[in-house]
Amino acid sequence: MLFFSYFKDLMGREVTVELKNDLAIRGTLHSVDQYLNIKLENTRVVDQDKYPHMLSVRNCFIRGSVVRYVQLPPDGVDIELLHDATRREARGG
C-alpha cells in the first residue's frame, strides 16, 4: 500500500509514465488505485512523431501492469517520509 499512498499524495502533479512498449505519456496525475492503475489528464505523448497513435487523446486510463517507469517531479518527493514509510512497510511484510 506504500506506493498507492504515495501516488495519492501526488495527485494533481505532472508526471511522465513510460510504458513497457516504450511509449512515454506526459500528463497530470488524476487518480490511482491499489493496482497502481493510473488515470492521466491533459496528456501528450512524449515523442509525438514516433508515436502518432494518440495525437488526439487528452485523457487516458493506464493499466498498472503495463507501466515500466513513472518519472516524478523532483519536488514531489519527501525523502524522509518515504524512508520512514518503507522501513515500516518492510517490517510488517
Query: Which residues in this chain contact another protein in the complex, by CB under 8 A?
Result: 2-3, 6, 20, 36, 64-65, 67-74, 76-77, 79, 82-83, 85-87, 89-91, 93
d(CA 57, CA 35): 23
Burial of residue 25 (CB within 10 Å: 0-12, 13-18, 19+) is buried
Taking the least distance from each CB to another protein, the nearer of 21 and 56 is 21
Name the minimum Å distance from CB 59 to another protein. Answer: 21
CB 81 within 8 A of CB 9: no
Taking the least distance from each CB to another protein, the nearer of 3 and 51 is 3
Taking the least distance from each CB to another protein, the nearer of 55 and 66 is 66
Q: What 3-state DSSP class applies to 75?
A: helix
